[in-house]
Amino acid sequence: MTNTMTNTNEHGADAGAAETSFAGLTAALAQGRFLRVVNYHNTPAADGEQLEAELARYGERYAPVSLADLDRFRTTGRWHKDRPGIIPVFYEGYRNNAEVAAPLAEKAGLIAWFPIITDFLDVPVAEQYGYAEAHDIGLVPEDVRGERLAMTWEQVGELSERHVVTPHTANHRATEEIVTPEDFEREIFAPKRRMDEVTGQSAALFAFLHGTARAHSPQHAQALEDAGYRYLISNTMIQHLNGSTKHSEH
Amino acid sequence: MTDHPHQTHQAHHPQHARHPDSTVPAVPTIPDPRAVLAECKERVLEREGIPMYLGFEFDDAGTVAVTDQTALAEGALLAPLVGHYRAQLSPDAGDGDEPALIDVLQVMAIAHLDLDLDLGGAR
């Protein structure tokens, strides 16, 4: 088991207990260890103009952030671009994330990150609306029952060529719902295998429903490491996972 | 219920430890952070973007420290804002009160996301 609860780094921040605390975040900021993100979910075409303006504004002021950029910052302590980075994050795996948001991010010169509920993509189109309702996937009036709401695996593969795609559990589960070995296999391990198979890459990040941090569930963090993930996106942190140097860096 | 980062206020366990707001921010702060937070919470999360600062935690930080001067300068300006807005928004929140921390980070992002550009000034 990873000793995340007692690991204290040389910068004085307890990497376990303090990681989601005011003290931990204050220390991270003071030490220059922080990132800017903008969290999105559903991106209907009706909002395209507004989204385009937002992303364009971010693109003018900030630099795109790839996984390689993140790794480089972590391992060297230096940000190598002329502007600070920003990460637009589009959660869930909505069809309109691929068809509306991704092109706009590209137009703005940004790299978007897509945490994807992997089983959502495999639900028959006619059942996707009901699946979304049952799995805390936010719908908007533009979403029509019976139409395809999730992106396809082919779109995931295409996105992976220019953006960051990574699992957000298989069925939008929180750690409290991932209990048995079967749960762990279904929600943590299988999504990575499937995504890696489609992209030919190694999915590096993971996010639980409700943004559970590492210290709040070491058992799940260990499973993430065992599966080969390298980062956990929590509510207040992007956390590099212990021992992940044994996995490929990119 | 939505997702993940910054939208979950489930595990609210305030420890009723008053934070000593002893650090004065070096940048102008917004006068009414509660209004900004209320505005943020009124957003339609399913379809609106929510900016956020996230800490970046690396366990191999034992051998690597950030040396980027811009990041350090921005961080030096941002760090005191945590205590400032904590005192404004959730003065009784304990150090591990994650929902309160999320609120603070959201307000900071909305008010100061451009801090790196002008190194001063709130919206």
- Best of B4, B7, B19 to mutate (most A CBs within 10 Å, chain A): B4
What interface predicted TM-score (ipTM) does this complex get? 0.86
Question: Confidence class of residue B3 from pLDDT cuts 50, 70 and 90?
Answer: low
Residue given tokens 């030919």 in the structure block: A200
A138/B45 Cα distance (integer angstroms): 8
How many angstroms away from the CA of B37 is the closest CA of chain A? 16
- Facing residue for A236 by CB, picked from B10, B68, B101: B101
CA dihedral A45, A50, A56, A58 (to 10 degrees): -110
Name which residue leads in pLDDT, B73 or A213: B73
pLDDT recorded at residue B43: 79
Which pLDDT score, from 0 to 100, does residue B58 have?
73
Cβ atoms of A237 and A19 closer than 8 Å: yes
Alpha-carbon gap: B57 to the closest alpha carbon of chain A (Å): 5
Residue of chain A nearest B1, judged by CA positions: A136
Query: What is the reported pLDDT for A117?
Result: 98
Q: Is the pLDDT of residue B8 over 70?
A: no
**Mean pLDDT for all residues in chain B:** 74
Q: Which helix (H) or strand (E) holds B51?
A: strand B50-57
| Chain A residues touching B59 at Cβ < 8 A | 7, 9, 15, 240-242
Q: Residue A248: CA atoms inside 13 Å, Cβ hemisphere, count?
A: 9
Contact B29, B111 (CB under 8 A): yes
The alpha carbon of residue A172 is apart from the nearest alpha carbon of chain B, in Å, by: 8
- Identify the pLDDT of residue B64: 81
| Interface contact B45-A24, CB threshold 8 A | no
Q: B47–A22: do the CB atoms touch at under 8 Å? A: no
B62 pLDDT band (50/70/90 cuts)?
low
Q: What are the chain B neighbours of A31 within 8 Å (beta carbons)?
A: 65-66, 72, 75
Inter-chain contact A240–B50, Cβ cutoff 8 Å?
A: no
The burial class, CB within 10 Å (0-12 / 13-18 / 19+), for A94 is buried
According to the model, what pLDDT value does residue A34 have? 94
At residue B36, the pLDDT reads 87
Task: Tell me: pLDDT of B13 over 50.
Answer: no
pLDDT by residue for chain A (250 residues), tens digit each? 222 222 333 333 344 445 689 999 999 999 999 999 999 999 999 999 999 999 999 999 999 999 999 999 998 999 999 999 999 999 999 999 999 999 999 999 999 999 999 999 999 999 999 999 999 999 999 999 999 999 999 999 999 999 999 999 999 999 999 999 999 999 999 999 999 999 999 999 999 998 888 777 889 999 999 999 999 999 899 999 875 434 333 3
Inter-chain touch A33–B70, beta carbons under 8 Å: no
Beta bridge partners of A38: A88, B51
- Which residue of chain A comes nearest to B5, CA vs CA? A235
Q: How close is the nearest chain B Cα to the Cα of A213, in Å?
A: 10
Q: At what angle do helices A153-160 and A190-199 cross, to 10 degrees?
A: 70
pTM of the full predicted structure? 0.86
C-alpha B19 chain-centroid distance: 15
Picking from B8, B70, B75, the nearest residue to A211 by CB comes out as B8
The tens digit of pLDDT for each residue in B22-48 reads 456 777 888 888 998 888 888 777 888
* Dihedral over alpha carbons A208, B15, B61, A77 (to 10 degrees): 80
Is the torsion defined by CA of A116, A120, A124, A127 positive or negative? negative
- Residue B75: pLDDT above 50? yes
User: A88, B2: Cβ pair inside 8 Å?
Assistant: no
Give A118's contacts (C-beta < 8 A, 6+ positions apart). Answer: A93, A167, A168, A169, A170, A190, A191, A194, A195
Q: Report the pLDDT value the prediction gives residue A243, as an integer from 0 to 100.
A: 58
Check B49 against A54: CB less than 8 A apart. Answer: yes
Q: How close, in Å, is residue A238 to chain B by CA atoms?
A: 5
List chain A residues with CB under 8 Å of B10: 210
Q: Mean pLDDT across the stretch B67-81?
A: 91
User: What is the bridge-based pairing of β-strands A113-116 and A164-167?
Assistant: parallel
Instruction: Answer yes or no: do A10 and B51 touch at CB < 8 A.
Output: no
If phi > 0 it is left, if psi is from -120 to 50 it is alpha, else beta; for residue A210 that is left
Q: What is the pLDDT of residue B41?
A: 83
Catalogue the E-assigned strands of chain A: 34-40, 87-90, 113-116, 164-167, 205-206, 231-233, 237-240
